[in-house]
Structure 1
Amino acid sequence: MSSKPFTVDLNKPLVFQVGHLGEAYNEWVHQPIISKDGPRFFGNDFLEMLTRTVWWVIPLVWLPVISWLVSVSLSRGLTPSDAASCLAGGIFIWTLLEYTLHRFLFHMETRSYWANTLHYVLHGCHHKHPMDGLRLVFPPAATTILSVPLWIVIRLTSTPAVAPALFGGGLLGYVMYDVTHYYLHHGKPSPGLSQNLKRYHLNHHFRDQSEGFGITSPLWDRAFGTYPTTKSTQKNK
C-alpha cells in the first residue's frame, strides 16, 4: 500500500517541512504564492529574525567594506586608475558568478530531505514566495560565509596590492545585484532598460525557470544560450 504524499502546512514554519516532499519538491517550489506576506521559516524567534533583511542594509554594510578594501590596495602602491580597473574587473567577475550560481546551484534539482531543505533556504523560498520583500537580499552573515572562497581564490591568483581592490569589485557587483534584484520585484521602473530588465527577470519566475539566469544583465544568458525565447513555455527546471 503506497504512503500518502506529504503536504506542506503553510501555517507552520516551512524550513523543516519541505524536505519531506522528496521528488515532489521541485514541482511544489515552482508554484509561486503571490503575496507580500512572507512565510515563517523557523519556530525559534531568533532564527526567524536572522532570515529577514531589509534591502538598504546591503549597501549600508558593504559599501564601507568596499571602500576600505580599495584603500588597502592604494596603501600598498596601487594607483587610483589601477584600483578603478580592479573594481571594474571584480564587477565583471561577479556577473559570471551571478549567472553560474543562479543556474547551477540555485536551480539544481534536489530530492533528498536535506538537499531540499538547503535549496529552499538558499533560493527555493524566493521562487515559492517571490514578493517576500524581507527575503529578497542575502543576510550579511550569509554573504560573509559565501564570499570566503572567492577571497581565497583572488588572494592566491593576484598580488597583495591587487587582491583587495579586485575583491572589493566583486563585492560591489554583489551589492549592485542585490539592490537591483529587490528593485525588479518591488520597484516601478520607467519604460526603457529597467523595465526590460524587470520583464526579463519576471519571465524567469513566472514563465520559464530554465532561462534568464542573469539578474543585473542578460550578458551571460546570451553567451550561453539561455536568454528567454519569445514563445517559451514553463519547464520548471
Structure 2
Amino acid sequence: MKAVSIEHSKVVYFADFAFYFAAVVLLLGILARFAPRQALPGVVLAVIGGVVCWSLVEYLMHRVIFHGIEPFQRMHGEHHQRPQALIATPTALSAVFILLLVWLPATLLGGVWLGLGATLGMTAGYFAYGLVHHAMHHWRPRGAWMRQRKRLHALHHHAAQQNYGVTTSLWDHVFRSYQ
C-alpha cells in the first residue's frame, strides 16, 4: 500500500497561497464594509486573538502532531529529508479545519463579527506561516528577522527536538524548546 504523500505539484502548492491570500482579503473586506461600528473594537481584538492563537496552534501542531503522531510524523519526515520539496497540508484539509475549529465555534460563542474576526486572525497567521516557511527553504533572507527565523529553522532540521516555531519563537521559550 502506497503511503499518503503531502508533496504537491507547483500549481497546487502555489494555489494554496492564492487561496489564503484571497481569503484574508475577502474576510478583511467583509469586516471593513459590513461590521457595525460598535463591533469594531471587539473585531480587532478577535483578529489579534486569532493571530496569537494561530502562533500557538502552529507550535503545537509542529511539536506534538508532526513530530509525535503517526502517520503525520512520517509525512512530516519527508519535509525534513527533502526541505525544498513542495510539501504542504492540502488546502481543502486546512480550510475545513479552519471552518470547523475556528469559524464555527467562534461564531457560535461570539456572534458573526467576532467569528469572522477570529477567522481572519487565524487565516492571516496561517498564510504568514506558509509564506515564511516557504521563504526559509527557497529564498535568500534579506532582513535580520528572516535571517534569524531561517537560522533557527535550520537548527530544527538538524536537531528536531528544538525550535518548533516557524513565525515566532515565543512558544519555544514558553515550553523550553528554544535553542
Alignment partners' CA distance in 2, 1:194 and 1:14? 37
Counterparts of 1:176-187 in structure 2, within 5 Å, are 176-187=128-139
Cα RMSD for the two superposed structures: 2.6
- Equivalent positions of 1:103-122 (< 5 A) are 103-109=63-69, 115-116=70-71, 118-121=72-75
Structure 2: distance between partners of 1:169 and 1:214: 17
TM-score by length of 1: 0.64
Using the alignment, how far apart are the partners of 2:133 and 2:31 within structure 1?
29
Specify whether residues 215 and 14 from structure 1 end up closer, same or farther in structure 2 by C-alpha distance, changes over 3 A only: farther
Corresponding residue number in structure 2 for 1:145:
96
Q: In the TM superposition, what is the alpha-carbon distance from 1:81 to its structure 2 partner?
A: 5.3
Any conservation in 1 of the 2:103–2:118 contact (CA below 8 Å)?
no
Q: What is the aligned partner in structure 1 of residue 8 from structure 2?
A: 51
Per-residue deviation, residues 178-198 of structure 1 (Å, max 9, x unmatched): 010000111111362211110
Task: Indicate how the Cα distance of structure 1 residues 154 and 106 shifts in structure 2: closer, same or farther if over 3 A, else same.
Answer: same
CA–CA separation in structure 1 for the residues paired with 2:48 and 2:67: 28
Q: Which residue pairs with 1:70 in the alignment? A: 28
* 1:61 and 2:19 are equivalent in the alignment: yes
Which structure dedicates a bigger proportion of its chain to helix? 2
Provide the residue aligned with 1:214 in structure 2: 165
Change (3 A) 1:84 1:146: same
* Alignment check: 8 A CA contact 1:212 1:218 kept: yes
Cα–Cα, structure 1 residues 80 and 153, in superposed 2: closer, same or farther, change >3 Å?
Answer: closer
Residues 1-237 of structure 1 aligned to structure 2 (within 5 Å): 15=3, 41=5, 51-53=8-10, 56-74=14-32, 75-78=34-37, 80=40, 82-109=42-69, 115-116=70-71, 118-121=72-75, 123-132=76-85, 134-135=86-87, 137-147=88-98, 148-190=100-142, 192-206=144-158, 208-228=159-179
- In 2, distance between residues paired with 1:218 and 1:172? 18
User: Does the 8 Å contact 2:43/2:113 carry over to 1?
Assistant: no
CA change 1:155–1:220 in 2 (3 A) is same
Rounded Cα–Cα distance in structure 2 between residues aligned with 1:191 and 1:178? 18
Q: Is the 8 A contact 1:73 1:162 kept in 2?
A: no
Offset of residue 146 of structure 1: 2.6
Larger C-alpha radius of gyration, 1 or 2? 1
Partners of 2:128 and 2:167 within 8 A in 1: yes
Change over 3 Å in CA distance of 1:160–1:146 after alignment to 2: closer
Q: Percent identity?
A: 24
Structure 1 distance, partners of 2:35, 2:61, is: 32
CA distance in 2, matches of 1:168, 1:119: 28
Aligned mates of 1:86, 1:197 — CA distance in 2: 26
**Any stretches of 5+ residues in structure 2 without a counterpart?**
none
Unaligned runs of 5+ in 1: 1-12, 17-40, 42-47, 110-114, 229-237
Q: What TM-score does the superposition give when structure 2 sets the normalisation length?
A: 0.83
